[in-house]
Amino acid sequence: MLRLGRREFDAHEPVIMAIVNRTPDSFYDQGATFRDEPALARVEQAVAEGAAIIDIGGVKAGPGEEVTAEEEARRTVGFVAEVRRRFPDVVISVDTWRHEVGEAVCEAGADLLNDAWGGVDPRLAEVAARYRVGLVCTHAGESEPRTRPHRVAYDDVMADILRVTLGLAERAVALGVPRESVLIDPGHDFGKNTRHSLEATRRLGEMVSTGWPVLVSLSNKDFVGETLDRPVKERVVGTLATTAVSAWLGAQVYRVHEVAETRQVLDMVASIAGHRPPAVARRGLA
């Protein structure tokens, strides 16, 4: 059982985490949800389309203009509070690596801290423990936040992913984060080249077999673009193909831009796997 905020999710229940970037320079939408009004409209649409988690980020992952902790908090804290007010049952996640921001968003009502940079600030897990919220433990190849990988190498990329994420997860639980609220993430593209991310996807079952719920953040990423030689706006098909493979291998949470399309993919895979009945079953029965 995965427990986040007021929600509980069964082991075979796929969960969609919708991305809402509070940044003026995000790689995907170039700031479409930087202002409050369109960002709240995005939340409403995502929830209507089947997202159970809203992931709010105040700093883009890639290099760019410096964003201080104070500015990151300004972009996220008030928005978290408003989403909490309007959508009391939705799980609110905040994508941050800074404990100061984590503290502020937990005070505002966040349920989950999405640490995409692999514990670079160890105090973030302490915040999650203090507030009894969830934590995403990610493999980032020991990269510094907002840097791109350069000639990174692993003897065995999945072995390193398991070593790091399981270590972070066990540390979080030892600090007091509820075990049922901890997820592990292979960190596609983070500290990895395209071949590493493809191998991490291919071997995702090794993460699933640890018993920790697995989150994947695949949406329109560079490894999809390089694999198919497609620009950012033409990566949806590759993303959905990778989503289907990840679902078949047992990943549970999917951080995405395209909620409705992802919902259909996850429902189809769940039905093929026998975890979900068809929505309609009339063929051959009339």
Residues with Cβ within 8 Å of residue 261, at least 6 apart in sequence: 236, 240
Q: Is the pLDDT at 191 greater than 80, yes or no?
A: yes
pLDDT exceeds 80 at position 31: no
Q: State the DSSP H helix or E strand holding residue 16, giving kind and residue range, or none if neither.
A: strand 15-21
Q: Is the dihedral of CA 260, 263, 264, 265 positive or negative?
A: positive
pTM of the model: 0.96
Determine the Cα angle at 108 with ends 107 and 113, to 5°: 75
Domain boundaries, the chain: 2-273
Share of the chain above pLDDT 90, in %: 94
Residue 85, pLDDT score: 97
pLDDT > 70 fraction of the chain, expressed in percent and rounded? 100
**CB distance 239 to 220 below 8 Å:** yes
Q: 123-156 pLDDT, tens per residue?
A: 999 999 999 999 999 999 999 999 999 999 999 9
Which residues are known to be catalytic? 221, 255
Over residues 88-112, the pLDDT tens digits come to: 999 999 999 999 999 999 999 999 9
pLDDT in tens, 233-271: 999 999 999 999 999 999 999 999 999 999 999 999 999
Q: pLDDT of 74-90, one tens digit each?
A: 999 999 999 999 999 99
Which amino acid is it at 182? V
pLDDT value at position 106? 98
Does domain 2-273 bear CATH number 3.20.20.20? yes
